[in-house]
Amino acid sequence: MDKAAAGNIVLMSIHPEFVDAILAGTKKVEFRKTKFASKVSHVVVYATHPVKKLTCIFEVKKVTIDHPVNLWSTYSKVSGICKDRFLSYYDSYVYGVAIEVGKLQKLDKQLKLSELGCSISPPQSYQYLDRKIFEQLKEISLAVSR
């Protein structure tokens, strides 16, 4: 991954079935109910229970905020989710957020958060991640592949 220079980095919790779909290339967008407070360049993916590990990093290609029906119309073919589940997720929300997956890097070794040597807990949805931790994560991942 290139050095993150254009924005912040977030740690995002994603269910393992959707992480697998992102890694397989069948899910090219991640949906959220809340938008980022600031520009985000990279997402570090934390696969939730039962995996409970960091699995990959992706660049944020584009963020779209729109009514869920419009998001479905735009992203249904790359959503990695069925329409009923998508609409149920957004239920009565007026807008939703679509985060397009850009360049993707699977970590050579899936890591527990504790392996980063800091006290980060899994976010409910997402949290901003310190750039030093992000660089450390990339170094650990690259060191494993050498």
Q: How far apart are CA 137 and CA 108, in angstroms?
A: 11
Which residues on adjacent β-strands are paired with residue 66? 96
Predicted TM-score of the model (pTM):
0.90
List C-alpha distances in Å: 108 to 54, 56, 105, 111.
Answer: 10, 9, 9, 9
Q: Which amino acid is at 95?
A: Y
Range in 59-68, 95-104, 120-129, 132-141 with the lowest mean pLDDT:
132-141
Q: What is the pLDDT of residues 27-39, one digit of tens each?
A: 999 999 999 999 9
pLDDT, mean of residues 92-114:
94
